[in-house]
Structure 1
Amino acid sequence: MGSGLLGRALHDRGDPPLRPLPDQVAQLLRDLDAPPRLAAHLRAVHDVTHQLLDWMAREHPSIRLDRDATLFGAATHDIGKTAHPAELSGPGSSHEAAGRELLLAHGTAPALARFAATHATWSRPDVDLEDLLVSVADKIWKGKRVQELEDMVVARLAEASGRTVWEEFLSFDDLLTAIGQDADARLAFQAAYPVERVR
C-alpha cells in the first residue's frame, strides 16, 4: 500500500495540474521508499520552479541559467527528509546536509547535489541565482513571502538587466502574487498524502 500512495503522489495530476518529477528523481524516491508527503511536496516546488524559470526565459532571456540543474535542485531539495522524516511535519535543518550527502552517495554530481544544502541558506555569498530561485519556489508554493530572499533575487535581476530595482521588484512581485494564488490547492495536494511511510 505504501508504494501505492507514493506512486499516487508521484503521478496524480493535481488541481491545478502539477508537472511530474524527472524520471531519475521519481525512481530515487521509490528506491528510498520516500514518504508520500515528501513526493507531493517536491512536485509542488518543482512545478513552481518551472513557472519561475518560464518567467525568467520571457522577461530575462539574456540571463544564463542552468534550467535542468535548477529543476533537478527543486525536485530534490528536501530529499534528506527521507533520513529525517520528523522534519516533514516539524522544524529542523538536519535534512539539508543529509540530502546533499544522500545525493552524492547515489552518484549525483556535486553541482546538482548542492541544492539540497543551499535551499535554506540563501544569504551565503557563494549562492547562485539558480539556488535563490529554488529557495523562492520552496516558499511561494505555499504563498509564503520572504522579503530578504526576494530582495536578493531582485537585486541580481536589476544588476543583470540594467533596469531599476523598483522595476524589477514590481515585475517579480506580480509573478509571485500570481503563483501564490494557487497556494491553497498545492497545500491541499500535499496534505492529501501522509507523512508516514505506509506499509
Structure 2
Amino acid sequence: MKTRLEHALTDPGEPPVRELPAEVADLLLQLRVPPRLAAHLRAVHDVAYEITAWLATAYSDLPFDREAVLYGAATHDIGKTIHVEELSGPGSLHEKAGRQLLLDAGVASHVARFAATHSNWTDPDITVDDLVVSLADKIWKAKRIRDLEQLLVDHLVIASGQEPWQVFLGLDDQLGRLADTADSRLAFQNTYPITG
C-alpha cells in the first residue's frame, strides 16, 4: 500500500498534474517530505513546465536553462521539510534551509540556489531562470505580481526586439490561461495532509 507521500508523488490529479523528475521524487521520498509539500512542488513544477515550453517556442532566442528551471521549481520549497510550520503560515526560514538541504544532498549549487532565490526576484543578480521559478510559484495559485511579471517582460523585450506592449500581451495571455486552472491545482495540493 502506498504512503500518502508516494500517492502525492504519483496521483495523476484531475486535470492531470505532471509528475516530478525521477531524481527529485527519489529525493523527496528519501527526505520524507510532507505529502502536501510534494503536491505543492508538483503543482509549481507543472506550471513551470508550461511557462518554459511557451518561452522555448515564443522566445527561442531567450537564453535560459529549462532543465535548471524545472528542477528549481520542483525543489524550491524543499526547506519546508525542516520548517513545516511554513507550509500553512508565512515565513522565509525555509529558503536558506532548503538551499543547504539540497547542497547537502549533493545537488549542484546552480540549481540548489532556487530554494533561496524564489522569493527574491528584485535582487540585482537575478536571472531569467530565477524569475521563471518565482513566477511559477505565484501563478500556480493565480497570484499575479505586476513587478515580477514586468521584470520578465523586460528580459523578453531584450531577447526578442519586440515592443514591450507586444511582449506584455503575450505573457499576460499565457499567465491568464495558467491562472484559469489554479483552482484545480489548489484542490490537488489540499487533498494531501501537512503531516505524513
TM-score of the alignment, normalized to the shorter chain, above 0.5: yes
Unaligned runs of 5+ in 2: none
* Structure 1 position 60 matched with structure 2 position 59: yes
* Structure 1 position 171 matched with structure 2 position 188: no
Aligned-residue sequence identity (percent) comes to 55
Provide the residue aligned with 2:145 in structure 1: 146
- DSSP 3-state at the match of 2:3: helix
Matches of 1:67 and 1:174 in 2, distance apart? 21
Provide the residue aligned with 1:24 in structure 2: 23
Give the deviation of 1:58 after TM superposition. Answer: 1.1
* Structure 1 position 132 matched with structure 2 position 131: yes
- DSSP 3-state at the match of 1:122: coil
Provide the residue aligned with 1:86 in structure 2: 85
Amino acid at match of 1:94: L
Amino acid at match of 2:120: T
Matches of 2:135 and 2:171 in 1, distance apart? 11
Matches of 1:90 and 1:127 in 2, distance apart? 26
Give the deviation of 1:160 after TM superposition. Answer: 1.3
TM-score (norm 1): 0.97
Matches of 1:184 and 1:165 in 2, distance apart? 30
Provide the residue aligned with 1:50 in structure 2: 49
Provide the residue aligned with 1:160 in structure 2: 159
Q: Which runs of 4+ in 1 moved over 6 A?
A: none
Give the deviation of 1:64 after TM superposition. Answer: 2.1
Matches of 1:27 and 1:140 in 2, distance apart? 26
Matches of 2:14 and 2:131 in 1, distance apart? 26
Provide the residue aligned with 1:186 in structure 2: 185
Provide the residue aligned with 2:121 in structure 1: 122
Amino acid at match of 1:71: L
Give the deviation of 1:47 after TM superposition. Answer: 0.4
Question: How many residues in Structure 1 have an aligned counterpart in Structure 2?
Answer: 196
Matches of 2:37 and 2:153 in 1, distance apart? 29
